[in-house]
Amino acid sequence: MKYLLISLIVLIFDLNVNAQAVMKYNKLTPEEERVIIDKGTEMPFTGKYLNFDGKGTYVCKKCGSHLYHSADKFESHCGWPSFDDEIPKAVKRIPDADGIRTEIMCANCGAHLGHVFKGEKYTEKNIRHCVNSISLDFVPVDKNTIVKTGRAIFAGGCFWGMEHFFRKANGVISTDVGYIGGDKDNPTYDEVCSDNTNHAEAIEVIFDNSLTSFEEIAKLFFEIHDPTQVNRQGPDIGTQYRSEIFYLNEEQREIAEKLIKALEKKGYNIATKVTKATAFWKAENYHQDYYSKNGEKPYCHSYIKRF
């Protein structure tokens, strides 16, 4: 018993030491702490990265987590660096106490970054992450060790079932279900289900390009739903349940059209549309990983090999 107690004490000590090592952050200057820890704001038009156009990745000053790709940076003339997209799962949003603005923080360590704004129409994504330069560091592309990721957006019936299959696929890093292709910003589930907003229930898939490809992901899309059905999937009926690929670049469009032609040659009457992607609006939290959370299985999706 004595030796068991000693072993437990040693184990707890080791775990505590390891936890402290994991939580070790970069040392901050007093001015960095004022912004990053105390949620201050640097003076406009003074930040290091305001007029900076290097190619690479912006990372958290406090913990080094990757936050933004340089390709998503744009000039808004607001006085601070602006981005219209973040690296998936990297940024956390918290409503300010005044109920007007939304704070953005590093999802890993909670460092204050700035605020996010919608509806200003600076870019097609209609989003502006207004970030303090002092909250960031920059990793040039030639030193960038981040995994090269791909992104794809598909609609094919109830997004619960789509996510059930995609989140298990080889090379998939993360999935989010949401809405796309409609006429209203930030729609709710009830609004989409009214069949009046023209949105489709959809899934955004982030994948590791070293392990899979858009073509492989797209093939899976055609094999986990019935691409011959129009505005429905199984018992779910309505335009929100349509089959559609929302391409992000010309390469994705060409691949999608190639796969459709291949299926048509096999005798399938494909109803799937191929459309340029617009803003993807993430669905309410209770829809994310729905079947995994509830221990259920899809009622209108199943895998059928077609390629």
Tens digits of per-residue pLDDT, 167-217?
A: 888 888 788 999 999 999 999 999 999 888 999 999 999 888 878 899 999
In this structure, is the dihedral angle defined by the CA atoms of residues 40, 106, 124 and 74, taken in order, positive or negative?
positive
Tell me what pLDDT residue 9 has. 41
Same domain (yes/no): 160, 137: no
In whole angstroms, what is the distance from residue 26 CA to residue 29 CA? 10
The answer on 118 and 94 residing in a single domain is yes
- Is it the case that residue 218 has pLDDT exceeding 80? yes
Q: Which of 185, 176, 180 is nearest to 118 (CA)?
A: 185
Cα 154-221-159 angle, rounded to 5 deg:
50
- Asked whether residue 118 falls in the same domain as residue 191, the answer is no
Average pLDDT, integer, range 274-288: 93
Among 143, 164, 197, identify where a domain stops: 143
C-alpha 234/C-alpha 65 separation (Å) is: 42
pLDDT at 143: 45
Q: Does 171 share its domain with 270? A: yes
Report pLDDT digits (tens) over 246-275: 999 999 999 999 999 999 999 999 999 999
pLDDT of residue 103: 96
Tell me the residue range of the domain where 134 lies.
30-143
Regarding whether 83 and 162 lie in a shared domain, the answer is no
Cβ–Cβ < 8 Å for 116, 105? no
- Domains in the chain, number: 2
Among 78, 158, 193, 300, which one carries the catalytic annotation?
A: 158
Same domain, 138 and 158: no
Average pLDDT, the chain: 88
Active site residue 158: yes
Q: Are 106 and 176 members of one domain?
A: no
Q: What CATH code is carried by the domain that includes residue 139?
A: 2.170.150.20
In a domain, 280, yes or no: yes
Is 282 found in the same domain as 174? yes
48 vs 43: CA distance, rounded Å = 11
121 and 189 belong to one structural domain: no
According to DSSP, the residues that pair with 237 across neighbouring strands are 232
The pLDDT, as a whole number, for residue 134 is: 97
DSSP state letters, 120-164: --SSTT-EEEEE-GGGEEEEEGGG--SPPEEEEEEEES-HHHHHH
Query: 109 catalytic, yes or no?
Result: no
Which position among 60, 130, 193, 300 bears the catalytic label? 130
- The answer to whether residue 3 is domain-embedded is no
| Other CB atoms within 10 Å distance of the CB of residue 159 | 28
> Are 79 and 45 in contact, with CB atoms under 8 Å apart?
yes
pLDDT at res. 50? 94
Residues 71 and 187 reside in one and the same domain:
no
Question: Please, which pLDDT band fits residue 10 given cuts at 50, 70 and 90?
Answer: very low
- Alpha-carbon distance 67 to 49, whole Å? 14
Residues 40 and 173 in one domain: no
pLDDT > 90 fraction of the chain, expressed in percent and rounded: 66
In a domain, 14, yes or no: no
3-class secondary-structure state, position 227: coil
Question: Is residue 233, in this structure, part of any structural domain at all?
Answer: yes
Output the pLDDT for position 22. 42
Asked, for residue 17, whether it belongs to a domain, the answer is no
> Per mean pLDDT, which range of 38-52, 60-74, 136-150 is the poorest?
136-150
Domain boundary, last residue among 94, 122, 143: 143
Q: Band of the pLDDT at 7, cuts 50, 70, 90?
A: very low
pTM score of the predicted model: 0.56
Looking at 143, 159, 175, which one is the last position of a domain? 143
Give yes or no: residues 283 and 177 share one domain: yes
Largest CA distance in the chain: 74
Is 19 inside a domain boundary? no
Count CB neighbours of 192 within 10 A: 23
137's CB contacts (< 8 A; 6+ apart) are: 58, 59, 60, 61, 64
